[in-house]
Homo-oligomer: A and B are copies of this chain.
């Protein structure tokens, strides 16, 4: 596999090809309001540039078999800005530690960005690169629903191509403790945990009584049934597929809640993680106090 082939495919033709499982593939499909373009890059394929010591050791690890571990589908919405490569680099270097992880990067651009595609190849992580522009109508909203088109595109790809595993939404500017991944990997329906550096209270978390979730602590309840952050929960993909109409609305601030409601989630279904929700595993980006 040479780099040139990937670049060609990133331009995305009009053909409707399904990923063929094990090689670069592309897939184009229609949503209600936009068109997505996919480029799939699978495990075992690496850049043809000289390999660093770190990368060689990383691949040693990846080549071990972990057949009994469900795959985590880590969905990252992103958008063009000058720090995009830096943020994706930092996140990619965290995800490199995680075995059986497939990274879905959905970019708010009309066609896959070549620079981002080249960067993604560097990590040696199986990934799907999606161009998923926000429909123009939402760019004019007073509160723009950022990342929704990207996450909907990722959900669409998962519904078409994946049968099991765990879904997790992780933005490119956040910090993820490695323990998070062990904890969410065996999610049965929906798991949840505290999120740090968010909102006026600086923490958002499920509230537990005798090990069961009975409510939520969040500085912006806004009459939401599930006042949680986008990266404060993980979803079993079998459970997702059993709700074929579950989706995320273009409604800023209510994306998480309405997605979880559309899954028919009940409080008693929630699996609390993070040492019974006493420890955070994830912190929001945009948290600087002294910029």
Which residues does A use to contact B, with CB under 8 Å? Answer: 52-55, 57-58, 60-61, 64, 66, 69, 81-83, 85-87, 89-90, 93-94, 96-99, 175, 177-179, 181-182, 196-197, 202, 283, 286-291
Known contacts being A52-B178, A97-B93, A182-B52, is A289 close to B202, with CB within 8 Å? no
27 contacts between A and B (CB under 8 A): A52-B178, A52-B181, A53-B69, A53-B99, A54-B97, A54-B98, A54-B182, A55-B178, A57-B64, A57-B99, A58-B97, A60-B61, A81-B289, A81-B290, A82-B197, A82-B202, A83-B283, A86-B175, A86-B197, A86-B283, A89-B175, A90-B94, A93-B93, A93-B178, A286-B291, A288-B288, A291-B291
Known contacts being A94-B93, A178-B93, is A57 close to B61, with CB within 8 Å? yes
Q: Nearest-CB distance from A79 to chain B (Å)?
A: 9
Q: Nearest-CB distance from A193 to chain B (Å)?
A: 15
B residues less than 8 Å from A85 (CB atoms): 283
Q: Nearest-CB distance from A268 to chain B (Å)?
A: 27
Whole-angstrom CA separation of A202 from B83 in the bound complex: 11
B residues less than 8 Å from A54 (CB atoms): 97-99, 178, 181-182
Q: Nearest-CB distance from A64 to chain B (Å)?
A: 8
Could you tell me if A197 and B83 are in contact, using CB atoms closer than 8 angstroms?
yes
B residues less than 8 Å from A287 (CB atoms): 82-83, 86
Could you tell me if B83 and A289 are in contact, using CB atoms closer than 8 angstroms?
yes
- The residue of chain B having its C-beta at the shortest distance from the C-beta of A66 within the complex is B53
Q: Nearest-CB distance from A95 to chain B (Å)?
A: 9
Known contacts being A61-B61, A97-B58, A288-B291, is A182 close to B83, with CB within 8 Å? no
Whole-angstrom CA separation of A82 from B284 in the bound complex: 12
B residues less than 8 Å from A175 (CB atoms): 86-87, 89-90
Closest 7 CB pairs of A and B: A86-B283, A86-B175, A54-B97, A93-B94, A54-B178, A52-B182, A90-B175
Q: Nearest-CB distance from A248 to chain B (Å)?
A: 22
Whole-angstrom CA separation of A193 from B53 in the bound complex: 19
Could you tell me if A289 and B52 are in contact, using CB atoms closer than 8 angstroms?
no
Q: Nearest-CB distance from A204 to chain B (Å)?
A: 15
Whole-angstrom CA separation of A179 from B93 in the bound complex: 12
- The residue of chain B having its C-beta at the shortest distance from the C-beta of A183 within the complex is B52
B residues less than 8 Å from A81 (CB atoms): 289-290
